[in-house]
Amino acid sequence: MGDDKKEFLSLEEVADFLGVTYQLIYRLVRSGELPAVRLGKLYRVSRADLDAYLMRSRAAAGGGTCSVCGTYYKSTSSLKQTCTAEGCGEAICFDCWNRLGVRTCPKHSVKNTKA
Ligand SMILES: [Zn+2]
Ligand SMILES: [Zn+2]
């Protein structure tokens, strides 16, 4: 339909766009975290509000990307570990840290596995 400049998105479209579940978006809307207009039983999220929300949550939660696997996390609670090389501080997700035993970012991972 070439309709990608739509001003308002349904919650399904927002969920789809962000790659999350409808339930999550619904909860964000109900809790007021994500502003939405209610039309009867339907919610619509404006693109501007969505953009603003994403900027806010990124800044507030300080979400980030795991330096090892490249997965983006919306919250730093999954990225508490950092590269153990001195002065590095690259984030490592709990998955890489706990399950794979990674302790350093790719830059410092060269033969540095015994620590
Ligand atoms: Zn990772
Ligand atoms: Zn590092």
Q: What are the tens digits of pLDDT across the range 74-90?
A: 777 888 889 999 888 88
- For the chain, the residue count is 115
Q: Which of the residue ranges 1-10, 26-35, 56-65, 90-99 would you say has the lowest mean pLDDT?
A: 56-65
Q: How far is the CA of 23 from the centre of ligand 1 (A)?
A: 25
CA of 22 to the centre of ligand 1 (A): 25
- 92: CA distance to ligand 1 center in Å? 5
Q: Is the pTM for the entire model greater than 0.75?
A: no
Q: Within 13 A of 86's CA, how many CA atoms are on the CB side?
A: 0
For residue 56, report the distance from its CA to the centre of ligand 2, in Å.
27
- Separation between Cα atoms, residue 15 and residue 11, nearest integer Å: 6
Which domains occur in the chain, in start order? 1-60 (1.10.10), 66-115 (no CATH)
Ligand 2 centroid to Cα of residue 75, in Å, is 20
Whole-angstrom Cα distance, residue 75 to residue 81? 13
